[in-house]
Chain A
Amino acid sequence: MPVTKYEPAPPGARPKTNVPGAGAPSVFNPILPPTADTPSVDVAADFELPTYDWSGAVLGGGGGSGAPASYYDALGSARGLEAQTASDKLDLEIAKYNQQQALDTAALQRKGLGAQEALKYYQGQLGSVEGGQIPEALNTTLEEQKAAREGFANTTYGNLLSRLGTRYGEAQGLTDEGFSALKSYLESAPQNAYATAPRATAAPVSNDIAQYMQSQGVDAARVQPGLLAAQAAAQGGAANYNNLLTTLAATSTQANQSRLNEQAMAQRLAQATLTAQKAAQEGALDQAKIAQLNAIQEQYTASRLQLQRDSIARENALRDAIATLQGSGSLNIDTTPSTETPEERAARIAAATAAEKAAADKAAAETAASRSKAVQTLANQVAAAKGSNAPALQARANAFIAANPTATPAQVKAEFPQLRAAAVKATAKKK
Chain B
Amino acid sequence: MAFDPSIYEQQRRNLQTSLGQQQALNTYRRYLAETAGQRPITQIQEAAFGIQKQVPRLTANYGQRGLQGMGVRSGVYSKALGDYALERTKQLGYAQSDLANQLRGYDLAATQGQESYQESLKDIESNKARQIAADAAALLELR
Contact = CB atoms under 8 A, between A and B. Distances in A.
Interface of A: 160, 163-164, 167-168, 170-172, 174-175, 177-179, 181-182, 185-186, 189-190, 192-194, 197-198, 200, 202-203, 205-210, 212-213, 216-220, 222-223, 225-227, 229-231, 233-234, 236-238, 241, 244-245, 248, 252, 255-256, 259, 262-263, 266-267, 270, 273-274, 277-278, 281
Given A178-B129, A186-B122, A263-B129, A172 B86 contact: no
Interface in B93-143: 93-94, 96-97, 100-101, 104, 107-108, 111-115, 118-119, 121-122, 125-126, 128-133, 135-137, 139-143
A218 B135 contact: no
Q: Which of A167, A178, A194, A206 is packed against the most chain B CB atoms within 10 Å?
A: A178
Interface of B: 45, 48-49, 55, 59, 68, 73, 77-79, 81-83, 85-90, 92-94, 96-97, 100-101, 104, 107-108, 111-115, 118-119, 121-122, 125-126, 128-133, 135-137, 139-143
Given A181-B129, A230-B93, A270-B137, A198 B107 contact: yes
Contacts of A205: 89, 92-93, 96
B132 A207 contact: no
Given A237-B101, A270-B137, A231 B93 contact: yes
Closest 4 CB pairs of A and B: A230-B93, A222-B82, A178-B132, A193-B114
Contacts of B68: 216
19 contacts: A167-B140, A168-B140, A174-B139, A175-B133, A175-B136, A178-B133, A178-B136, A181-B125, A185-B122, A193-B113, A203-B97, A203-B100, A205-B89, A220-B85, A222-B85, A229-B93, A266-B130, A270-B133, A278-B140
A156 B66 CA distance: 120
B122 A274 contact: no
Nearest to A251: B115
A234 B114 contact: no
